[in-house]
A and B are shown apart, each in its own frame.
Chain A
Amino acid sequence: MNTLINFPISLIVLCSGFILILLGLWGMLTQRHLIRIIIGFSLMDTGIHMVMVSIGYVTGGTAPIINNAVLMSEASNLVVDPVPSALVLTAIVIGLGVTAVMLSFAVRIYKTHKTLMIDKLTESKW
């Protein structure tokens, strides 16, 4: 029981993040369907966000918002690191933009080739 209490919560988030990164990489490398490759990219993106957030966690910390529960004078002992959260906010938005552009490329490829399987898109193969 004692080990369960001492087990750091952020380790779970960190492990899940790394697993998601590996899953996303596997999907991007082995799948032949463009939509599945994009899903793999999104999974990897989410995994990276989870790893970054978990690294900013401080034991017993709460959200970095000053209010009645977290007073200004003792805030630095109570809150988690706000910098990784801000970074992840940026990363999520960039990931969204990249995914949107990838999806519109997929739409364009489907319109010109009538397929989304990358085995059949041979003109850029070397």
Chain B
Amino acid sequence: MIKRIFIFMMLGLMAIIFFNLVANYTENTSLSKLAQYYVENGPQEIGAANLVTAVVVTYRGLDTLGEVTVLFISAAGVGLLLRRKKGKQNNNQQQNKSVKEVANIHKSSSEIVETATELLLPMIILFGVYVFLNGHLSPGGGFQGGAIIASGTMFLLLALPESHISRLLIAITESLSGFSYVIIGVLGMVMAGGFLDNRFISSGTYGNLFSAGAIPLIYTFIGLKVGFELSAVLDRFRKEINNEEDDPV
């Protein structure tokens, strides 16, 4: 009881802080100095029409590299926590059996679902590729495109739970794209102004697909990495539910 009172007191105090913040809130009528600089000089310096992309990939590129690293570490953590071994499974076989029976109810999917999956899945993945390739021109980018690709994987795992996702392919694509991202960053340091500078490739015509220097390349690698990483996480959870064993990688 006394715990509850403390919790509600704390929430009440937080509410007072928030209320003061809201009561004194006035909407901005002009950009801050930093944003002003980015908006005025971003298009000429970087060549990206989408200014959020310019900030994410080049001005704050190092943060994005850290972000990709955090995502990688969390995917590795999920892999470590949900690791499955052959020996362990024999210990609680009885329980496995009942879980497997439950899982079997969902296993067979109808003809309509299978056909629809075959039809829709390539389109979802194509849309994801479109989103991360056009990240410098339109709303979207590597993380969004990667999330769309992972939603395609989710769709596949829900519709056809038996489908097999190669862990080797995921591991190779993920490490290669992460490696290439850092290599592009170093190339920017050698051939242009600094780490993750996108201007070592000619910036092309403004507003075209092949413009903004290395931004489409960087976003392609980020999109592939994020998409495959999230697919691996989803696959881990799927295996946990279905009680399958890991493939040896």
Chain A residues in the interface with B (C-beta under 8 A): 8, 10-11, 14-15, 18, 21-22, 25-26, 29-30, 56-59, 63-67, 72, 75-77, 79, 81-83, 85-86, 89-90, 92-94, 96-98, 100-101, 103-105, 107-108
Contact = CB atoms under 8 A, between A and B. Distances in A.
A14 B201 CA distance: 41
B51 A89 contact: no
Interface of B: 4, 7, 10-11, 14-15, 18, 21-22, 25-32, 34-36, 38-40, 43-44, 49-52, 54-56, 60, 63-64, 67, 70-71, 73-75, 77-78, 81-82, 137-139, 141, 143, 207, 226, 230, 233, 236-237, 240
Contacts of A92: 143
Nearest to A106: B81
Nearest to A60: B29
A93 B71 contact: yes
Contacts of B29: 58-59
A72 B240 contact: no
B29 to A, nearest CB: 5
B36 A100 contact: no
Given A18-B18, A72-B43, A104-B81, A10 B27 contact: yes
A107 B240 contact: yes
A108 to B, nearest CB: 5
26 contacts: A8-B27, A10-B27, A56-B28, A58-B27, A58-B28, A58-B29, A59-B27, A63-B139, A64-B39, A64-B50, A64-B52, A67-B207, A75-B39, A76-B36, A79-B31, A81-B32, A82-B39, A83-B32, A85-B55, A93-B67, A93-B70, A97-B70, A98-B74, A104-B77, A104-B237, A108-B81
A81 B51 CA distance: 9
A104 B78 contact: yes
Contact of A85 (B11, B40, B52): B52
Given A8-B27, A64-B39, A101-B81, A82 B51 contact: yes
A89 B43 contact: no
Nearest to B136: A65
